[in-house]
Structure 1
Amino acid sequence: MAIDVAGQSTMANGGTASRTGNYEIAAPHLSRILSIQSHVAFGYVGGKAAVFPLQCLGYDVDVVNTVNFSNHSGYRRFGGTKTTAAELSQIFASMEENGLLLPSRLLTGYIPEAKALTAVYDLAKKLKSKTPELIYLLDPVIGDAGQLYVAPDVVPVYRTMLSLASIITPNWFEVEVLTDIKLSDLASLRLALRKLHTEFHVPNVVISSIPLKPWLLDVLPAQLRPAPPFPNTEDPGYLLCLASAARTDDADTRVLSTIHARCVPLIPGYFSGVGDLFSALLIGHFHFSSIPPSAHPSNPLAHATSSALHKTHLMLQLTHEHAKTLPEDERLPTDEEKDAMEPVRRFKRMRGRELRLVQGQDIIRSTEIGELGAMDVWEGFWEA
């Protein structure tokens, strides 16, 4: 998107975005997003973590809830219902019959069961057939740290859906599940990305968080490594965010994609909804924010990822600082045994670390990208 002399920003898809001070607002006629993901009454995960930020960026957001729960599962106790495949299909059909199925962008997140996910898959196919330029960000919410959040039969449906996506935002564990490749060295990371790009035909892959284990730290170029000393040599306390945009030119057939990366320091404590917020900010900025000529030329994925990473980290810092001001009994450390005996310990801790989205809305609206979130090129990634 380029800025013209009239003070408007021309978007990559042909629309415009108005600028007011340090804020950027999407053009209303090209900015409707259909969000299909979970809903909670209290707190900020799923759609509750995604819709408000997208609205702050100027998007109209149509919302379909895949579950309706009281709160996120980190509280251990929650109530509510899952939306069935038949109910989802009925909602989609009614929207279409009434002429209300008009998204220019599609965002999908947590969908716990295969039949429901298949209904979403059918909708995505229909939308892509009708509007080939539809930007579809698929967040394959499968699990984390070796634990599945969904039924196992969801995984093959996701593999079928990947070719429809413009962008996917798996974490490291979800990459392993989708590709059947354990990320244990640079060769396996290359192999997993190659499979996502060539076998599953995903043009843009953002691995939102890879623990910076020694094998990964050792292969990172110097400009991408965080500065030591590290608190723990086995786990330096950083995550790596990696963006891989498939190459469309034939300048070097050995280079499958352009890789950008950034190490981000971990913030202590338990947070929920971080991936949902990150994915929303990513689709909100993809082919949207102005890209200075010197920064990531011809790579809107790197710029969008930089924006999303920067804002997500600032939101976590804001939430963490708030949590430190709470009464001591709401800042108790995690202790599974004590939590089981006194569930109120967990309730208070979870409640105090819900994302501070409303309080941080200026962060969401800002057009600045701090040094922490700026993605750098990983030169030589594909070299043997």
Structure 2
Amino acid sequence: MNAISSERVLSIQSHVVYGYVGGKAAVFPLQCLGYDVDVVNTVHFSNHAGYGRSGGTKATAAELNDVFEGMERNELMAPTRLLTGITPPCYVPSAEGLSAVAALARRLKRERPELIYLLDPVMGDAGRLYVAADVIPIYREMLPLATIIAPNWFEVETLTQVKLEDLPSLRKAFSILHDTYHVPNVIITSIPLTPWLYNALPPAIQPSSDSEYLLCIASSRVLPSSLPVVYAQCVPLLPGYFSGVGDLFSALLLAHFHSPSSPATIPNLISTSTSTSTVPHPQTPLAHAAAYALATTHHILRLTHAHAITLPAKERAPTDDEADAAEPLRKTRRMRGRELRLVQGQAAIRGEGVEVRPMGVWENFWDV
């Protein structure tokens, strides 16, 4: 994709010196796809929290506001796209810091209604809340500002206060996000494919093998008077632990998303054949972007996994809390060997050699 030269992303995320999470996982892919990126670092750490030890500093709300004000005084605050994804637990400056980001997003959307804003409301995962309770209402206040939100399963439950345990509860959660918070585009990734979800999927979307899969669901309200259009795709689960995957996916999603009013046309990097049984009508901009983001992210993960399994045995030691505590470098070596292979995968980021499968429409999703 060749982005129009006027396309500029403001990325407000964490920064690590070594490795690829937060802004380090997002900025390079955006630049590979032709975007100028202005970067605001919410923290400056030596490495990500998965290593167990790190050094560095967090930005205060005053420091963030000082950066924002300096850009505005010099007429440098002119993004066409905004990406915020402040990763917990240690990367969220505070509720006050998040409020500073929210105030900026609100001001930018007021001044530039056409701004495409991807909000990743990072709060927790796997039933565990990473942030203080006072962060949650701030994220809820930010939802109506977003063009796209990319929560995980647990974050959807936290935002909507709906326990996702069957198709009716999933419908209810999407309705709350679309109708109560007026978010036009919602995508949930890395969803474990539980039996009830598998059985609810249309046959064309269900995976045919017995391997483990994760599910991605994308829902867009195309017209105010119509029901949202829902798409889904299953992705094979790769073994092992990866950091920065959500940050990479969000950046790719933002890069490939083009609304009808966007200055760029929808990219067509890779020709894909689709059958009318799988995609009965043109994909929504969100489904289109998700297909490219999923394919590229999975390609990068395969590169990372292939590299990791070639490392010496001591750098592939399995997780063992007791052994890691006794020898901290044991964990360091394991984390270091599984950093995302972004530079090695830059051709794939640009669309070379990646097979993109269109998202499948979830027909009858809204049927009761």
TM-score (norm 2): 0.91
Structure 2 residue 267 is the aligned partner of structure 1 residue 290:
yes
Q: Give the fraction of aligned pairs with identical amino acids, expressed as a percent.
A: 62
**Contact 2:348–2:354 at 8 Å: present in 1 too?**
no
SS at 1:205 equivalent: strand
Query: Given that residues 26 and 57 in structure 1 are in contact (C-alpha distance below 8 angstroms), is that contact kept between their aligned partners in structure 2?
Result: yes
Q: Does 1:379 align with 2:363?
A: yes
Tell me the CA shift for residue 228 of structure 1: 3.1
Q: How many residues align?
A: 349
Amino acid in structure 2 at the alignment position of 1:197:
H
By how many angstroms is 1:151 displaced?
Answer: 2.3
Offset from partner CA, 1:118-137 (integer Å, 9 cap, x none):
10111011111111000000
**1:79 to 1:148, Cα distance in 2 relative to 1, 3 A:** farther
User: In the TM superposition, what whole-angstrom CA distance separates every residue of 1:21-53 from its partner, at most 9, and x where no partner exists?
Assistant: xxx211112x10000010001000000000000
Given that residues 124 and 131 in structure 2 are in contact (C-alpha distance below 8 angstroms), is that contact kept between their aligned partners in structure 1? yes
The structural deviation recorded for 1:107 is: 0.3
1:297, CA displacement in angstroms? 1.8
Shift of the alpha carbon at 1:194?
Answer: 0.5
Which residue identity lines up with residue 351 of structure 2 in the other structure?
S
Task: Name the residue aligned to 2:64.
Answer: 88
Report what 1:347 is aligned to. 332
2:106 matched residue in structure 1: 125
Matched, 1:224 2:190: no
**1:319 equivalenced with 2:304 (yes/no):** yes
Query: Are positions 1:248 and 2:232 aligned together?
Result: no
Tell me the equivalent position of 2:9.
33
Instruction: Give the alignment's Cα RMSD to 1 decimal.
Output: 1.6
1: CA distance between counterparts of 2:300 and 2:358?
16
Distance in 1 (CA, whole Å) between partners of 2:336 and 2:169 is 38
Alignment of 1:193-272 (within 5 A): 193-230=174-211, 237-248=212-223, 250=225, 253=226, 256-272=227-243
Question: Which stretches of structure 1, 4 residues or longer, exceed 4 Å deviation after superposition?
Answer: 291-296
Cα deviation code 1:237-281 (max 9, x no counterpart): 21100100013064xx5xx21001001111000000000000000
| Contact 1:306–1:369, Cα closer than 8 Å, also in 2 | no
SS in 2 for 1:263: strand
Equivalent-residue separation in structure 2 for 1:368 and 1:133 (angstroms): 33
Give the CA deviation at 1:369.
5.8
Structure 1 distance, partners of 2:243, 2:350, is 21
Structure-1 residue corresponding to 2:27: 51
Aligned-pair distance for 1:148?
Answer: 2.4
Check whether the contact 1:34–1:106 (CA below 8 A) recurs between aligned residues.
Answer: yes
Match of 2:134 in 1: 153
Structure 1: tracts of 5 or more residues without a match:
1-23, 231-236
1:106 aligns with 2:77: no
Secondary structure of 1:224 counterpart: coil
* Residue 9 (structure 1) aligns with: none
**Residue pair 1:121, 1:161 contacting (<8 A) in 2 also:** yes
Moved more, 290-299 or 91-100: 290-299
The residue matched to 1:26 in structure 2 has which SS?
A: coil
Q: Post-superposition shift, 1:333?
A: 1.2
Q: Deviations over 1:322-362 (max 9, x none)?
A: 00111111011112222122211111010000000000000
- 1:126 and 1:367 map into 2 onto residues whose CA distance is 38
Q: Unaligned 5+ residue runs, structure 2?
A: 259-264
1:374 shift after superposition: 2.5
Q: Distance in 1 between matches of 2:283 and 2:224?
A: 12
Equivalent residue, structure 1, for 2:261: none
Match of 2:262 in 1: none
Q: Which amino acid aligns with 1:360?
A: G
Separation in 2 of the partners of 1:327 and 1:341?
A: 20
TM-score by length of 1: 0.88
Determine if contact 1:310/1:374 at 8 Å carries over to the other structure. Answer: no
The residue aligned with 2:351 is: 366
Structure 1 contact 204–243 (Cα < 8 Å) conserved: yes
